[in-house]
Amino acid sequence: MTETTNQKYKGRKLRRYETWYAPQDVMLAMKENKGLGEVSRDLGALQFRQKFKFGHEDELNPQAGDISGKVKYNPAMAQTALNGKFLDSMVLKTMIKQGEINTVNFTTNNVMLKPVYRVLTTMNQVEGKKDTYYFHLWTGKKDGGKPDSLFSKKIYVCTNPKDPSIDNKTTYSIEKFIHHKMSEDEAYTYNHSSKEGQEFVGDSAIAGDPVILLGMHVSTRETKRWTWQSFYWTENPDAPVFPSSSVMAAGRNKLNKKLESPADHYAVTIGYSMMSPALPYDGGPIDIAAKGVTPVYALNPYIEGTFTEKEVFPNQLSDYYKNWGAEGNYKKQFYIGNNDGITSNCMSCHSQAYYNNQMLDAAVGGFLADQYVNRDAPWFKGSVQLDFAWSLFPGFEPPPSKVDQP
């Protein structure tokens, strides 16, 4: 996915995943009644969407820009979404049946991504050094456990690979990151986009600013619950910090084809089930204490690592389990300790991607930390399940016209 192609945007060659479609491309194709290959894909920022609303205060410290990114669909998934008009809220509403659970369905060759970036602007610049920037690095403990400090280490990124200050301990060449230079359109969109519904001012990105890839969610529809992999930049990918582990690093190093630099600087964490051993796809409530399962944690620390119980998961116990105790005692399958981003699992959270007529135009209210979720749980009744794709939730992804061109 990260290999360089011959396709270009604003004069720079794109990596394969960058050439994939955004939900906005599918929306435009639906609006214009065209095929994906017929619509313009030069709609401002190629890689950026609205900025992420939650967390990141410790990471920025002091605030300097924000985390941003854009959901991507591989061509097969984009075509599936277009054929089914899955990004049309009116189509979703026609699928809602009182007392029933309906669902959209993707296919086994569908892949969705969420790359996240750090834009390095003058706000991140080291005083007196025009080619050196800083950001706060995820420093979770090795091989599990909650970290003492999430973003305790400030590291420096130098755009001059020959700079003698590069020591690969505190200062790294930008060549160690997947990166690109920001275009004029990307800078305009980044500066003028809102922070998921809240105005965010102060960004001053300009064309030519370096953009580094911090990490990426990768999900494939090979199973009913999808497969979930998260990649994130780390200092030592052979001995990565939580949520990856030395076991995962060893598995990566057994690949027949060695990862090329700089892709080899990203650790991986996987979540192929919510709990281990895996629990049934559907059926009645399960007493997880009696089952003796253990949680599977899989997250991108540069997104979920900053999520707090108070801000993101304040009502998950009451909303999804205590309130449904009368319907088979679902609270017995609630894992009490999992209530923040460090104890999250992509699969659990995305299992909650559903929509009904009573839900507000905001997806965050449905987020869960790492919990077991039955696909036929009673809270899904009268709703349409979005097949683990939060990007289909009405209002979650901005329309193509959200940000004007310069």
Share of the chain above pLDDT 70, in %: 84
Which residues face 232 on adjacent strands?
Answer: 215, 267
State yes or no: pLDDT of 16 exceeds 70.
yes
The whole-angstrom separation of Cα 299 and Cα 341 is 8
Q: What angle do CA 178, 180, 185 make, to 5 degrees?
A: 140
Parallel/antiparallel/unpaired status of strands 111-119 and 101-103: unpaired
Q: Work out the average pLDDT over 223-227.
A: 96
* Band (84; pLDDT cuts 50, 70, 90): very high
pLDDT digits (tens, 9 = 90+) for 22-72: 998 999 999 999 999 998 876 655 556 555 555 444 444 434 346 777 899
What was the pLDDT predicted at 150?
A: 67
Which DSSP symbol is given to 241? B
What was the pLDDT predicted at 188?
A: 78
Place of tokens 């790294």: 172
Parallel/antiparallel/unpaired status of strands 383-385 and 101-103: parallel
The whole-angstrom separation of Cα 404 and Cα 397 is 16
pLDDT digits (tens, 9 = 90+) for 341-358: 889 999 999 999 999 877
The whole-angstrom separation of Cα 267 and Cα 236 is 8
Token pair in block for residue 197: 């519904």
Q: What angle do CA 388, 392, 395 make, to 5 degrees?
A: 130
State yes or no: pLDDT of 290 exceeds 60.
yes
Share of the chain above pLDDT 90, in %: 53
pTM equals 0.91
* Band (140; pLDDT cuts 50, 70, 90): confident
Domain coordinates in residue numbering, the chain:
4-392
The whole-angstrom separation of Cα 283 and Cα 323 is 18
Cα dist. 111→146, 233, 238 in Å? 30, 21, 27
